[in-house]
Amino acid sequence: MTRRPFNPDEADLARDLEPTVADLDRYLADSAADPAPDFADRVMGAVAAQPVPRRGLWAVLAAPWTGDRGRMTLLAATVAAAILAVVIAGQLPRILPSNIGSSNSPEPSLMPTMEPSPSVTISPQPTEPATESEGPSASPTDDGDIPGASDDEEGTPRPSASPAGSDDHSGPSGDGGDDGGGGNSGPGGGGGSSPSPSDSSGSGGHSGPGGGGGSDD
């Protein structure tokens, strides 16, 4: 175990520590003595009076994992744990409740339809929705869109009682709701209010196809 002289690079020492290291090295060189020849016999004489040492708790716990046989045991345990983990992962879909992940997706899609309620489209509304809401056929189409009921609950503007159900969908898209702009009803309304530029572009900007169709009508 002799490691002399000490190399300052071992510990990235600064140059100004070299004299200190030299002092220590000199001390080591001057104090290299050996024990008495019978030192080992005396130690063994003292050890003979001692009881056989017991294994420590750590040694008992670690014994199955040490040595070549221990490594094999450790490897086998690791493989077994991995297999068990794979099996448990395979059983997860059965173990977990089945309704996890079946969230009703329409709800998020409703929110965007609520946001755009351009006030500009109010002026054309009274004429066209009036004609549509007269016929009872408007309500069946609304019933088809089940989320429409929730739209009413969330406090969409209710200017009048009777056309309210149809206004949620046909209101903003009054100009082009029938043209299939149902989903993007808001932008459709916007398209209606700006007649000529959005028409020329057709699918331009926010107005989208619905907007163009609405203005054409």
Partner 1 sequence: MDDRGLVAAVLDGDHDAFRLLVEREQVAVYRACLRILGRPHDAEDVAQESFVMAYRSIGTYRGDGPLGGWLMRIASRQAFRRLGQRRPTTELPPDLPLGAPGSDPVAVTLAGERQREVRLAVAGLREPYREVVALRFFGEMSLEEIAEVTQRPLNTVKTHLRRGLERLRPVLDREVAA
- List interacting residues with partner 1 (CB under 8 A): 1-4, 6, 10-14, 16-17, 19-21, 23-28, 30-36, 39-40, 42-44, 46-48, 50, 52-56, 58-59, 62, 66-67
Which of residues 74 and 80 has its CB atom nearest to partner 1 in the complex? Answer: 74
Least separation in angstroms between residue 81's CB and partner 1 is 23
Least separation in angstroms between residue 104's CB and partner 1 is 54
Least separation in angstroms between residue 21's CB and partner 1 is 7
Least separation in angstroms between residue 78's CB and partner 1 is 20
**Closest Cα partner for 170 from 146, 142, 190?**
142
Least separation in angstroms between residue 69's CB and partner 1 is 12
Q: How far apart are CA 181 and CA 188, in angstroms?
A: 6
* Contact present, 151 and 110 (Cβ < 8 Å): yes
Which of residues 5 and 126 has its CB atom nearest to partner 1 in the complex? Answer: 5
Which of residues 6 and 202 has its CB atom nearest to partner 1 in the complex? Answer: 6
Q: How far apart are CA 52 and CA 47, in angstroms?
A: 9
Which of residues 14 and 100 has its CB atom nearest to partner 1 in the complex? Answer: 14
Residue 208 to residues 147, 189, 216, Cα–Cα distance (Å): 22, 10, 13
Which of residues 43 and 85 has its CB atom nearest to partner 1 in the complex? Answer: 43
Classify residue 57 as left (phi > 0), alpha (psi -120 to 50) or beta: alpha
